[in-house]
Amino acid sequence: MSKHNASPTTMVIFPAKNEEATIEHVIATAKKSNSKPEILVVDAYSSDRTAELARDAGAKVIQQDAKMFPAKGVAMKAGLKEAIDGNADIILFLDADIKNLTPDWIDKLVDGCANCDMVRGCYQRHTRDAAVTKLIARPMLHVFFPELSHFEQPLSGEVCARKDVWKGLLAKNPPDGWGIDVWFLIEAVMSGYQIKEIFLGSKEHTSFEDYRDDIGKLSKMAEQVEFTIITEAFIHGRTDAYKEVKI
């Protein structure tokens, strides 16, 4: 088969920190996808057996560049550089703590890139889940970037795009922390990329158990998401939008 006719190569990236309870499951599930992806785990210096179990499960494992936390952006950027250097055509991020991940999620996200630039997952979650999305991200996007108001999950960890899209976004210097998910969404839209959300069903993830009884544990995430959106509003000349808010 010629290179021109070859199927695009796909890489699934799992940013992970202390996810030994789920890492084997998500890797095994990803391997069952019709896209036959390569699997990369970007380990954030886990103190448990995440990296060991990931290697044993057949994934390539690298460490994020800086030993810091929270640093989801650092991990995602390290993963993108590895995938781009490896010439992956389609690059998909998935959360590493998903208890009910299925190959269908991966197939839907990868297949969606056939007719748009970026595909983002959305899902049904526990009513007490997604506090930062509900109370920070969506309200602030409604004010400063109203054209993004229709996105149900602006902080989705399930995001797929072609290599050239990721390269373009990576060149814009994404943030290092929790703000990277909404940053990718804003910058992708402002760059003119076509984006769509795909419903993936319900999402069950272990991190919810860490904060379901105390959403105060999400304060650092909320702070970083908030200031990412404010910074983007300044960059794109949207700061006067607050004047339209009725209080």
pLDDT in tens, 132-166: 898 999 999 999 999 999 999 999 999 999 999 99
pLDDT at 125: 77
Q: Which of 167, 171, 166, 181 is nearest to 228 (CA)?
A: 181
pLDDT at 67: 82
CA 50 to chain centre: 19
Question: CA 180, 185, 186, 188 torsion: positive or negative?
Answer: positive
Euclidean distance between CA atoms 82 and 76, whole angstroms: 10
pTM for this model (two decimals)? 0.92
pLDDT at 6: 65
pLDDT at 30: 97
Regions of the chain where pLDDT drops below 50:
1-4
pLDDT at 170: 97
CA 232 to chain centre: 18
User: Which amino acid is it at 102?
Assistant: T
Q: Which of 61, 65, 93, 86 is nearest to 169 (CA)?
A: 93
**DSSP state for residue 205 in the 8-state scheme:** B
